[in-house]
Amino acid sequence: MASQFGTKVKVSIFGESHGAAIGVLVDGLPAGEAIDMDELSRFMARRAPGLGTHTTPRRDGDAVRVLAGLTGGVTNGAPFAAMIENTNTRSADYHGLMDTPRPGHADYTAYVKYGGHNDISGGGHFSGRLTAPLCIAGGITLQILARRGIRIGAHIASIHGVCDAPLDFVSPNMDALARAASRPLATLSEEAGEQMLAEIEKARAALDSVGGVIECAATGLPVGLGAPMADGVENRIAAAVFGIPAVRGIEFGAGFAAAGMTGSEHNDPFVMEDGHVRTAANRHGGVLGGITSGMPLIFRAAFKPTPSIAQEQDTVSLVEGKAAKLAVHGRHDPCIVTRAVPCVEAAAAITILDLLEEGV
Amino acid sequence: MASQFGTKVKVSIFGESHGAAIGVLVDGLPAGEAIDMDELSRFMARRAPGLGTHTTPRRDGDAVRVLAGLTGGVTNGAPFAAMIENTNTRSADYHGLMDTPRPGHADYTAYVKYGGHNDISGGGHFSGRLTAPLCIAGGITLQILARRGIRIGAHIASIHGVCDAPLDFVSPNMDALARAASRPLATLSEEAGEQMLAEIEKARAALDSVGGVIECAATGLPVGLGAPMADGVENRIAAAVFGIPAVRGIEFGAGFAAAGMTGSEHNDPFVMEDGHVRTAANRHGGVLGGITSGMPLIFRAAFKPTPSIAQEQDTVSLVEGKAAKLAVHGRHDPCIVTRAVPCVEAAAAITILDLLEEGV
Amino acid sequence: MASQFGTKVKVSIFGESHGAAIGVLVDGLPAGEAIDMDELSRFMARRAPGLGTHTTPRRDGDAVRVLAGLTGGVTNGAPFAAMIENTNTRSADYHGLMDTPRPGHADYTAYVKYGGHNDISGGGHFSGRLTAPLCIAGGITLQILARRGIRIGAHIASIHGVCDAPLDFVSPNMDALARAASRPLATLSEEAGEQMLAEIEKARAALDSVGGVIECAATGLPVGLGAPMADGVENRIAAAVFGIPAVRGIEFGAGFAAAGMTGSEHNDPFVMEDGHVRTAANRHGGVLGGITSGMPLIFRAAFKPTPSIAQEQDTVSLVEGKAAKLAVHGRHDPCIVTRAVPCVEAAAAITILDLLEEGV
Amino acid sequence: MASQFGTKVKVSIFGESHGAAIGVLVDGLPAGEAIDMDELSRFMARRAPGLGTHTTPRRDGDAVRVLAGLTGGVTNGAPFAAMIENTNTRSADYHGLMDTPRPGHADYTAYVKYGGHNDISGGGHFSGRLTAPLCIAGGITLQILARRGIRIGAHIASIHGVCDAPLDFVSPNMDALARAASRPLATLSEEAGEQMLAEIEKARAALDSVGGVIECAATGLPVGLGAPMADGVENRIAAAVFGIPAVRGIEFGAGFAAAGMTGSEHNDPFVMEDGHVRTAANRHGGVLGGITSGMPLIFRAAFKPTPSIAQEQDTVSLVEGKAAKLAVHGRHDPCIVTRAVPCVEAAAAITILDLLEEGV
């Protein structure tokens, strides 16, 4: 197991859902960067549960405690470490009870991989709660990037087929994305957000769940980040984004739609703008040959519907080796996409700072 | 630049399209594996140009010369290295001529990143020709995997909207995929292949190009490969597949379609089959929580249309800093998807052997 | 900065001497390993200050708090994280005062590297205190190795020229090394230990300090760990051991003495013992061609004298850019070698588990 | 097996002594660096055999063929690859004959690790011949470093106890080291070189061999390269230098001698010189806390005597599982130190460029 990513800026995530604490270690942050903890809290709040009826009512506070890496609130060049204490810790007798793995979850694969020693309480290290430390790393990274003129924003592009207003790939409205972040659902169109909420409520009423797509844009990137072949921008963004539980696909620029286009439709002509080379359209999503083109970086990630649903499902008893029924108790988000928006921004931010620190 | 990937089995690709040679170094192959060079040649032939009117007529032979790592045709535990001599090498006066970057290509981004020192002849290190050494590594890896009961096969799922027959995710017909590999186009349905060919010919006639989607399946994987979060199977497959030029997206199992489903539609119930835990469907694509479930691994990669088209396109003159016109000369594949099928298999095979060598 | 090492078992250390906490993250531990916290405490106590007059009187308690990676006291396959709260945290006004860098310290190099943002209080991340989290990782690793029949022990081979009794390289007395660990100074010969203590006291009285050499042995290793060239056992042990502050050299087996030998003196003849291939002597220190031979692994690390001495020393004022005088206040160990013995064992243990997890 | 090292500048070495070719891949070289192939040849000639009676008479030519990474003789940003064809290739019937492992060699450990599949002819991948590709990488790296004002030179500090004139650590005479490189033995003192040659001849006459120590200096390094703890300059230099076969120890600055000093003897006082911070002495060898201090980097590596000696030695028959006698035939260098000087420079150069590319 290696819950680590990054080349120069390395992020390592630890913790279990009901363990003592969850946290993150970030190695390789530039020194001399002031971190605004209030701004971090506001960023963290965007993924926190309990903000609306469409998310789980459990509240953890998600109070971030910095352990290392800051001196007087400024990065000191040493590894940054922070944690969130778990107030809702496991009961000892919980362990070992898992017999009927939840469909769509890692219960079964983790059981086999770790020989039954994995912490199953609340999903253990596989819990969506582990995206909180990802957001700590992402939140401080976003502050550092902002000082370098780089902005990152994401919105919910669709939930269960209900689509948000489209994002302009050439000049994404980053202010609009920032405003979207403060809405109940991070959509450009408030109306689309309301329709998505209705979709989520419908799923909840049916003891079911829904999936969706998150679209992310990053502006202000220099030309020349990344590398051809295996170390390209897409490879590295993908490697980070697939670290968010429930992601099933990722695409850049026109993405899968490019497969249905002709070259003359898909190629973005180069143009001169104020002495700079730009492209007239941005179907390439800001990356050509694995290297940033200076156009906005655009990608989308597909999230599956929450696998924990209250409906009775078919599974097996691992102990008895035969079919069994399972009804997942507790309250779960009928749609994790709503809370995953800052996670996607975090994964993008960390990877972009990593690329920046490597240099053009 | 780092044209390397893998953790235990590390693949490093070198070469420029018109340089002395292209090649690959594979570090970490298990010792004692007999490599059938004829079988490798047959695999290489699948990506070779010139097999039909739908591919470029240039023929390189792609004769693989093994430099190291085999003793008596058997892996000896030392790094494996092989190369293909370039018979079509650059003329000295070619260098430095690039003024008008091709739309959709890495010409401009490479120019900025490498300060104009990159080899532009034939695309240099960014050429699709660099997938030949990827296929060398993939071809030998496939032979090693076959001995462990693991089969990998891919087909063209669609070209410019024309779709192949669907693949059964629960029991993919690997023999059918193997037969597809010997057709002009690697499709399950010969009729679909003919329609795709017609689509490609139409693009060629219009001095245009088309994109497509390749779908890949791997069977025989044990339960427990991979890891949660940043080191999962999806992260690693994606990091390898995005190394193939022109890939714009990747998705696993139901992929982006999962975003439109409900949990009750998407969750795959566990079932017992002959004493083994399996899932009744395989929308999860063989990976749960970043870890293989023992079900077939299924993923799709989207390829953009070939950016080199003979139509006149808008671009800029980097020297003069103003708008310019460009008509790409030479003959180029109007659809690279047809030759990319073994490349996708190669990327999957290398990553899977890497995961296997790390152990469950 | 990257305070990380290891390939499969990855150790990341964080914290500053007077920050909120110091700690460690260990990624890649095998699941299912019971960790005895009392045994860990006893191991930690060996590097703790304040055990004798030869060490600094400050007491931190070094109470280890496990944050993640254990469920019911057993490794759960997820990253292990633990920390020690700093009870002696920095005063805000301390920061920025460093003007006169201490000779032999990282004050000046850190100042330049981190642009003056590094935490200078107590040495910050460069403090010897950071070996405490190294010992947490080493302590749990030693428990895991012991279950695999691997024992690791070290002793003080010399301090300021006073030598301990020699260690038998072919059959090192691991019980004797274990007993040495409970003495005031970890020596095989109690008499040598007393002479060393006298040497340390003499240095203290002279407001000075002394260096020394630590020798480490590991038994029970299988044949075949490691690799030739850059990934050999020596490379990896060295990379870990140089992570301990104050180490200036490392040598394996006969080490530097081998440079003065002939081949016929240095070569260890192979012999059969009970059906196993062994060597009659062990001047090779258990590694041939970067790969373990099955003989005990033997290495030595040289430690410089504590740079913090109470004598007045010449330095410069960075602010004024001219010569200055410095007298280091506070109490410092006149010899860090005495507390470094478990640190060397820890570095060896972590590297050996890393090699083991990679497999033969 | 992973014959790779480096973080940003990654060197991968391949080949077997009697295989088709040996070579090197260097990923991450800066683009735009002109490489003088004649200068590279002169550097390679320093490790070539057959230059005197003290080295093996076999001549390979060591003609370097560049495969990739140069366009018009200038680095193009793509991976650099080069090889040397082996003219002296293995005979098929050689394989599998190894029954009696040579004492002091990797024959036995490689046999176990690779299950007998390793190439034993001429030592295979474990041959000292593999230092030729290391020198290719080092030779081009030295040219790049020279342009940045960084000079690297090494000399034979001792052979079998005969010592060269000492090197000035504060202001090493790099011109003198360059002149030493053109002597039969790379010594500062010609007289010492003659005495060493006599020592080597004496060993040869006795069918024996001798070891020695190589000392290396690098000047012109900026302050601030490296990092504390596990990623320090010493860790990385050591990881590279132990990749040279026969190295048994490494030490920086005062090295093991520091263990016998007091702090007041060992600490280097800081002084101002022409507005720059320097140290009055350089017992710290240019590294403080893992970070370069701007003073010359100084280290020494200990080499064991050539294990291949013509005297009859005790070994075992792996097939029969009993004692056996072995006399190593063929001609071998009675002292490999003489040819290892450029290898040490190469390992240092590559690591320093790697550190430079990471940035201060």
Residues A168-176 have a mean pLDDT of: 98
As a whole number of angstroms, the distance between CA B113 and CA A358 comes to 12
Q: First vs last Cα of chain A: how many Å apart? A: 31
Residues A21-45 have a mean pLDDT of: 96
Kindly determine whether residue B256 and residue A106, on different chains, have CB atoms separated by under 8 Å. Answer: no
Q: What is the largest CA-CA distance in chain B?
A: 71
Q: What is the pLDDT of residue A98?
A: 75
- Please provide the average confidence, as pLDDT, over all residues in chain B: 92
Q: What is the pLDDT of residue B54?
A: 52
Question: Under a CB-based contact definition with an 8 Å cutoff, are residues B179 and B305 in contact?
Answer: no
Kindly determine whether residue C305 and residue D236, on different chains, have CB atoms separated by under 8 Å. Answer: no
Chain C 134-153, residues with CB within 8 Å of chain D CB atoms: none
Q: What is the pLDDT of residue C53?
A: 46
Interface test with D, best of A8, A10, A356 (most D CBs within 10 A): A8
Kindly determine whether residue B306 and residue A263, on different chains, have CB atoms separated by under 8 Å. Answer: yes
| Residue D331 touches chain A, beta carbons under 8 Å | no
Residue D303: phi, psi to the nearest 5? Answer: -110, 135
Residues B179-188 have a mean pLDDT of: 95
Residue B151: phi, psi to the nearest 5? Answer: -115, 140
Size of interface C-D (CB pairs under 8 A): 369
Residues C140-169 have a mean pLDDT of: 98
For the domain covering A4-358, report its CATH number.
3.60.150.10
pLDDT digits (tens, 9 = 90+) for C261-318: 999 999 999 999 999 999 999 999 999 999 999 999 999 999 999 999 999 999 999 9
Question: Under a CB-based contact definition with an 8 Å cutoff, are residues C298 and C352 in contact?
Answer: no
Angle A337-358/A131-147 helices, nearest 10 degrees?
A: 50
Cα–Cα distances in angstroms (integers) from residue C283 to residues A205, C232, C267, D304, in the given order? 74, 17, 7, 10
- Please provide the average confidence, as pLDDT, over all residues in chain A: 92
pLDDT digits (tens, 9 = 90+) for D125-179: 999 999 999 999 999 999 999 999 999 999 999 999 999 999 999 999 999 999 9
| Residue B263, C-beta contacts closer than 8 angstroms, at least 6 positions apart | A104, A203, A208, A209, A210, A305, A306, A307, A308, A309
Chain A residue with Cα closest to B291: A109
* pLDDT classification of B24: cutoffs 50, 70, 90: very high
Q: What is the pLDDT of residue D95?
A: 44
CB atoms within 10 A of CB D91: 8
Residue C292: beta bridge partners?
Answer: C287
Residues B121-150 have a mean pLDDT of: 95
Q: What is the pLDDT of residue D96?
A: 44
| Residue D123 touches chain B, beta carbons under 8 Å | no
Kindly determine whether residue C21 and residue A68, on different chains, have CB atoms separated by under 8 Å. Answer: yes
Q: Choose the weakest-confidence range: B12-26, B48-62, D316-330.
A: B48-62
The torsion angle over the Cα atoms of residues B332, B337, B340 and B342, rounded to 10 degrees, is -130
Q: What is the pLDDT of residue D61?
A: 45
Residue D68: phi, psi to the nearest 5? Answer: -165, 160
Kindly determine whether residue A78 and residue C14, on different chains, have CB atoms separated by under 8 Å. Answer: yes
Coil, strand or helix at B128: helix
List CB contacts (< 8 A) between B359 and chain C: 359
Residues D279-297 have a mean pLDDT of: 98
Residue A312 parent element (H or E): strand A312-317
* pLDDT classification of C87: cutoffs 50, 70, 90: confident
* pLDDT classification of D72: cutoffs 50, 70, 90: very high
Chains that touch D (3 or more CB pairs under 8 A): A, B, C
More confident residue, D57 or B50: B50
Q: What is the pLDDT of residue B60?
A: 46
| Residue B72 touches chain A, beta carbons under 8 Å | no
Two tokens, residue D103: 């004492």
Residue B216: beta bridge partners?
Answer: B154, B299
| Residue A113 touches chain B, beta carbons under 8 Å | yes
pLDDT above 50: residue C169: yes
Residues C90-101 have a mean pLDDT of: 62
Residue D200: beta bridge partners?
Answer: none
Residues B307-322 have a mean pLDDT of: 93
Q: Where are the domains of chain A?
A: 4-358
Token pair 């820890």 is at which residue? C346
Chain A residue with Cα closest to C31: A114
List CB contacts (< 8 A) between C78 and chain B: 228
List CB contacts (< 8 A) between C228 and chain B: 78
Question: Under a CB-based contact definition with an 8 Å cutoff, are residues A142 and A149 in contact?
Answer: no
Q: Choose the weakest-confidence range: A48-57, A282-291, B301-310.
A: A48-57
Minimal CA separation from B171 to chain C, in Å: 31
Q: Choose the weakest-confidence range: A41-50, B208-217, D211-220.
A: A41-50
Residue C343: beta bridge partners?
Answer: none
Q: Which residues of C91-120 are buried (b: 16+ CB within 10 A; e: fewer)?
A: eeeebeebebbbbbbbbbbbbbbbebbbbb
Q: What is the pLDDT of residue A54?
A: 52
Could you tell me which of B265, B281, B161 has the C-alpha nearest to residue B212? B161
Give CA angle at A351 (A347, A356), nearest 5°: 150
As a whole number of angstroms, the distance between CA B141 and CA A233 comes to 26
When CB atoms are compared, the residue of B27, B72, B117 closest to D3 is: B27
Q: What is the pLDDT of residue A208?
A: 96
Question: Under a CB-based contact definition with an 8 Å cutoff, are residues A70 and A144 in contact?
Answer: no
Q: What is the pLDDT of residue D50?
A: 55
Q: What is the pLDDT of residue C91?
A: 56
As a whole number of angstroms, the distance between CA A154 and CA A167 comes to 10
When CB atoms are compared, the residue of C11, C126, C248 closest to D255 is: C248
Sequential DSSP letters for B229-284: GGGSHHHHHHHHHTTSTTEEEEEETTGGGGGGSBHHHH---EEEETTEEEESS-TT
pLDDT above 50: residue A103: yes
As a whole number of angstroms, the distance between CA C14 and CA A76 comes to 12
pLDDT digits (tens, 9 = 90+) for D172-206: 999 999 999 999 999 999 999 999 999 999 999 99
As a whole number of angstroms, the distance between CA D78 and CA B85 comes to 17
- Please provide the average confidence, as pLDDT, over all residues in chain C: 92
Minimal CA separation from A250 to chain B, in Å: 6
pLDDT digits (tens, 9 = 90+) for A246-303: 999 999 999 999 999 999 999 999 999 999 999 999 999 999 999 999 999 999 999 9
CB atoms within 10 A of CB C354: 21
Q: What is the pLDDT of residue A4?
A: 85
Residues A319-337 have a mean pLDDT of: 88
| Residue A115 touches chain C, beta carbons under 8 Å | yes
Cα–Cα distances in angstroms (integers) from residue B96 to residues C236, D66, D335, in the given order? 44, 21, 49
List CB contacts (< 8 A) between A360 and chain D: none
Q: What is the pLDDT of residue C158?
A: 98
As a whole number of angstroms, the distance between CA D175 and CA D146 comes to 13
Could you tell me which of C218, C222, C210, C214 has the C-alpha nearest to residue C340? C214
Angle A337-358/A233-241 helices, nearest 10 degrees?
A: 140
Chain C 212-271, residues with CB within 8 Å of chain B CB atoms: 228
Residues C168-172 have a mean pLDDT of: 98
Chains that touch C (3 or more CB pairs under 8 A): A, B, D
Q: What is the pLDDT of residue A96?
A: 44
pLDDT above 90: residue A55: no
Kindly determine whether residue C206 and residue D262, on different chains, have CB atoms separated by under 8 Å. Answer: yes
As a whole number of angstroms, the distance between CA B280 and CA C166 comes to 66
Q: What is the pLDDT of residue A1?
A: 43
* pLDDT classification of B50: cutoffs 50, 70, 90: low
Residues C44-69 have a mean pLDDT of: 71
Cα–Cα distances in angstroms (integers) from residue D199 to residues C193, D204, D212, in the given order? 39, 9, 11
Q: What is the pLDDT of residue B120?
A: 87
| Residue C358 touches chain B, beta carbons under 8 Å | yes
Sequence-separated contacts (24+) of A192-196 with Cβ below 8 Å: A192/A162, A192/A163, A192/A164, A192/A165, A193/A156, A193/A164, A195/A162, A196/A156, A196/A159, A196/A160, A196/A162, A196/A164
Could you tell me which of C348, C339, C108, C104 has the C-alpha nearest to residue C243? C348
